[in-house]
Amino acid sequence: MSPPYSAPRPPQSLKARLKNAGSLFRQLPGTFRLFWESSPRGAVVLGALTLVAAVLPAAIAWVGKLIVDGVLAAQKAGDPASRAHVLQLVALEFGLMVGSVVVDRALSLVRELVRANLGNLLNERILQKALGLELRHFEDSDTYDKMQNARREASSRPLSLVMDAFSIVRNLVTLSTYAVLLVTLSPWSVAVLVAASIPAFIAEARLAEEGFRLYSWRAPEGRKLNYLEWILTRDSHVKEVKVFGLGPLVLGRYRTLFQKFFEEDRALAMKRMGWGLGLGLVSLGAFYACYAFVANRAALAAITLGDMVLYLGVFRQGQGAFQGILSSVGSMYEGALFMSNLFTYLEIPTGQEAPRVVPALTASKGRGNAIELRNVSFRYPGKEAWALRHLSLRLEPGEKLALVGDNGAGKSTLVKLLLRLYEPTEGEILYGGVNLKDMDPEDLRSRFGAVFQDFVRYQFNVAENIGLGHVSALEDRNRIVRAAEHGGASGLISTLPNQYDTMLGGWFEKGHELSGGQWQKLGVARAFMREDAEVLILDEPTASIDAESEHALFERFQELAADRIALVISHRFSTVRMADRIAVLHNGQVEELGSHAELMARNGRYAHLFNLQARGYRD
């Protein structure tokens, strides 16, 4: 059993925190590569607009000073030329303000376009990675948590991190122009500006780390919250929810978990408010100290009124720019923490070995390949018990083998190994004399046709539900019709409103819902799309269909699988008795092997189970 997911404990010392921060900021190059890949042109335009936006505030502040001084000069001079000069300066400031508005709007537009491109790129990468993961990853809760953490922030967090970086550049350029102006007034005012903002940065970084840990620890419980919501909103659950009165129980658990999340969020929000208020007052005090100093200098006529207006505006905006830099750094720190989730997910090793032989030596195409299991043992990752133990079995070309046994005996596990969804823990499986590990997984699986007990009910139309059994033939309607006939679904399809073009399921508009048995017929038909399949696997193919349909299905199945290996898993002994041989699995081992007649004559486990089921029919 995989260990519960938990975020790493936060470092306590300043040195440890700085080391941790340095490791997290190593996520930045990867993030910027993704940003550039998503939209090179957008990145260039965003950078240019950011630089323009950075220099405009200082220019506007300087022109504002000139206007104030010009007004005072015009009052003393009283000539038209002085007044005209003031109006020219006002017009210049108006032009700069218009430019600032245009640049800000353009930045917003570019941000939205880049956000869409970057979010789409990351979602594609996440989905592409999911395609490369193996079954063991999907059955592991830790991997699921990593996937959820990556998906949760993929659409917003990377762009936020990039924009924080651009914001730092913008504020640095703005601040450098302000600093030049402030130094002419008093060098210590720059020091006050910086010192008053540092505590806010430290607090923001610490709270950002706390928020990250909070949301990371929530991943398993977040999935539970989503699952409780799923139970109450999906059509597949509504019958039991209504009949067993599950609504209050599930809703109560949902409320309890949500309240826990809310209390955690509230505590963090209150902490943010307390620190923000206290440090905001510190910054405000620093500003008014400088305000008093500048006002006193103006009252002593040491500086002009325009200088006072300039210095106060620059100090206020400069303080805001510096705090903006520190806030962006703190936000980037938080963004880097979340990006580490994304990169951790994308770097999950699949662990599947590449074929060790050249393609020419792989099993030849055709239906003359035998399957052989040599002393195969398997146990699931993190489990102590063996699902299969010392299993040796050979299936000859054209042979029909049935697997029977109690639940958990290892039947479905054997199918997973044959399809190379898992690798044997011990032993080996040969196909046409070639170890499955030496075959390309896609090539191997292309040779199999399968219908599983937990087959998927796609919310697509009928033709697609069948055609997905062979994606390359999805547009071949004749082949889809043949598969439907072989799977016993053609009669059902003829009764549907638009036949093969009927939308199925209840998720989308005009969807037509089917019964469990009707869905299963389409699942069986899907398996028959692979007309050239060398091996057919039927895992409980008749669990939801009636006896007459079952009999008709297996008559067709025997015809279609005449020269193929067929593996049938079923609890219905009327089905398995048609097989050439029957393997009885118990505790992961083959306890009995033979034909129906041979096993009945042996009077062992198979005979006992068969007689139990037959007695139920007679009674």
If DSSP states are collapsed to H, E and C, what string results for 149-210?
HHHHHCCCHHHHHHHHHHHHHHHHHHHHHHHHHHHHHCHHHHHHHHHCCHHHHHHHHHHHHH
Look at residue 12 and tell me whether its pLDDT is greater than 50. Answer: no
Amino acid 290: pLDDT: 73
Q: What is the pLDDT of residues 193-247, one digit of tens each?
A: 666 666 666 666 566 656 656 655 565 677 677 778 777 776 566 656 766 677 7
- Range 14-205+302-346 classified under CATH 3.40.50.720: no
What is the percentage of the chain residues whose pLDDT exceeds 70? Answer: 75
What is the percentage of the chain residues whose pLDDT exceeds 90? Answer: 3
Look at residue 192 and tell me whether its pLDDT is greater than 50. Answer: yes
What number is the average pLDDT over the span 337-364?
Answer: 61
What number is the average pLDDT over the span 319-327?
Answer: 69
The alpha-carbon radius of gyration of the chain (Å, integer) is 35
State the angle between helix axes of 80-132 and 157-185 in degrees (0 to 180), rounded to the nearest 10.
150
Contacts of residue 514, Cβ cutoff 8 Å, sequence gap at least 6: 457, 492, 504, 522
Contacts of residue 394, Cβ cutoff 8 Å, sequence gap at least 6: 370, 371, 372, 373
Q: Residue holding tokens 């003393």?
A: 76
Amino acid 113: pLDDT: 86
- Residue 358: pLDDT band with limits 50, 70, 90: very low
What number is the average pLDDT over the span 391-409?
Answer: 85
Query: Does pTM surpass 0.75?
Result: no
Q: What is the pLDDT of residues 235-293, one digit of tens each?
A: 566 656 766 677 788 888 888 888 888 887 788 778 777 776 776 677 667 767 777 77
C-alpha to C-alpha distances, 569 to 178, 307, 369, 452, nearest whole angstrom: 77, 89, 21, 9
Amino acid 363: pLDDT: 54
Sketch the domain layout of the chain as residue ranges. Answer: 14-205+302-346, 398-423+435-618
Amino acid 276: pLDDT: 67
- Residue 18: pLDDT band with limits 50, 70, 90: very low
Amino acid 541: pLDDT: 64
Q: What is the pLDDT of residues 23-80, one digit of tens each?
A: 556 777 878 888 888 888 888 998 899 888 888 887 888 888 788 888 878 888 778 8
Amino acid 360: pLDDT: 39
The dotted CATH code for 398-423+435-618 is 3.40.50.300
State the angle between helix axes of 198-217 and 305-346 in degrees (0 to 180), rounded to the nearest 10.
20
Contacts of residue 276, Cβ cutoff 8 Å, sequence gap at least 6: 200, 203
> Residue 251 has which token pair?
């809703």
Amino acid 210: pLDDT: 65
Q: When comparing pLDDT for 548 and 445, which is higher?
A: 445
> Residue 445 has which token pair?
């699986």
> Residue 589 has which token pair?
């081992």
Look at residue 520 and tell me whether its pLDDT is greater than 90. Answer: no
Q: Say how many CA atoms lie within 13 Å of 415 toward its Cβ.
A: 25
Q: What is the pLDDT of residues 70-114, one digit of tens each?
A: 887 888 877 888 888 888 888 998 998 999 899 989 988 888 888
Least confident of 245-259, 344-358, 498-512: 344-358
Q: Average model confidence (pLDDT) for the chain?
A: 76
